[in-house]
Amino acid sequence: MSGILVVMEQRGGRIARISWEALAAAQRLGDSANITAVVVGAQTEVFAAEVAARAPGKVLRVEHALLLPYTPDGYIAALQQLIQREEPAYVVFPHTYQVRDYAPALAARFGQVLISDVTAISEVPLFARQLMQGRLSGAYRKLGSGICFVSVQAGAFAAESASSVTAGVDLFTPTMDAAQIRTRPGEPYRAAAQTVDLGSAQMIVSVGRGIKSQENISIIQELATTLGAEVAASRPICDAGWLPMERQVGSSGQTVAPKLYIAAGISGAIQHLVGMKGSQCIVAINKDPDAPIFEVADYGIVGDLMEIVPALTEAVKAAKQ
């Protein structure tokens, strides 16, 4: 029991970046030679070749017609068989919506708990993950024997660049039956055509729960207009219908990396941070000095955004004259 399985995920026909990061995290847990990158699907050849060019150890294709489209029942059944055969020490996943959908049940099938959304791995090993919406960090440890299931957060581990040798690829065919799959997934769709491309914005003024009411959004809009910036928001604002969904930044919205990101009244839960922490300069305005948004901010102002944002608009106007 020294092997490490890393379940890779594709998005839009390519291996998602977060999967390479999961592979990098796996290298903190053991020798590269013991790492097997696992690709799952109905036709995995191309996908496996892409992984083999960069993976440090081996690549294993878990292939069956019933593995497309994704269903939790299908993935759990296939990966359970693979894990039983391989008896790894660790199974590492990228922390995606898909992984959240099946990995906790897969771990439970082995009497284990997925240590989810891990941001760092230190000796023992201890797995760091956020608590209390990012206000605290917890160090988790696996107890007893048995397989350790871990999922890693986007952006927490630096993805390795290409490996010099191409990894060997093996095929594993699970035994599956159509009756095992109880859910019938439809085709993915978008609610409406995306008309706002926050991804290419140079400056963004983003607003969160701290704004308190819909009427107050106007002060954010004024600051954005004055700066020549786009308006964006954290999830609760779009959930409330105060700004359209297409202006949402975070794991369920858009990922942005502008030159300037002003976060007003956003506490900085991980779901928001993953969507904006790549910004070149982050300004945080929040009444709570312990808000996690300040951990990623270059400049911070503690105070009431209802006072600071209008003052900022005036100061920008003055500076532009």
Which residues, numbered 135-154, are part of the site for other proteins (CB under 8 A)?
Answer: 135-144, 146
How many C-alpha atoms does 233 have within 13 Å on its Cβ side?
25
295 binds other proteins (CB under 8 A): yes
Phi, psi of 278 (to 5 degrees): -85, 0
Please report how close the Cβ of residue 119 comes to other proteins at its closest, in angstroms.
Answer: 9
Q: How many CB atoms lie within 10 A of CB 90?
A: 22
Interface with other proteins includes 158 (CB under 8 A)?
A: no
What mask, x for binding other proteins by CB under 8 A, covers residues 248 to 287?
x--xxxxx---xx------x--x------x--xxxxx---
Burial (CB count within 10 angstroms: exposed 0-12, middle 13-18, buried 19+), residue 165? exposed
Q: Which residues contact 186 (CB under 8 A, 6 or more apart)?
A: none
Residues of this chain, 219-238, that bind other proteins according to CB under 8 A: 227, 235-236, 238
- Is 244 near other proteins (CB under 8 A)? no
Within 43-102, which residues bind other proteins (CB under 8 A)?
72-73, 96-97, 100-102
**Mapping DSSP to helix (H, G, I), strand (E, B) and coil, where does residue 171 land?**
strand
Q: Is 202 in the site for other proteins (CB under 8 A)?
A: yes
Subset of 177-196 contacting other proteins (CB under 8 A): 182-191, 194
Give yes or no for residue 303 binding other proteins (CB under 8 A). Answer: yes
Instruction: Find the helix or strand (DSSP H, E) in which 98 lies.
Output: helix 97-109
Which residues in the 12-41 window bind other proteins by CB under 8 A? none
- The least CB distance from residue 281 to other proteins, in Å, is 5
Contact 158, 101 (CB under 8 A): no
Cβ 307 to other proteins shortest distance, Å: 4
One DSSP character per residue, 202-248 reads SEEEEE-GGG-SGGGHHHHHHHHHHHT-EEEE-HHHHHTTSS-GGGB
Binding positions for other proteins, 100-119, rule CB under 8 A: 100-102, 104-105, 107-109, 111-117
Which CB sits closer to other proteins, 132 or 171?
A: 132
Which residue type is seen at 97?
Y
CB of 243 to other proteins, least distance (A): 12
β-bridge mates for residue 58, sequence order: 36
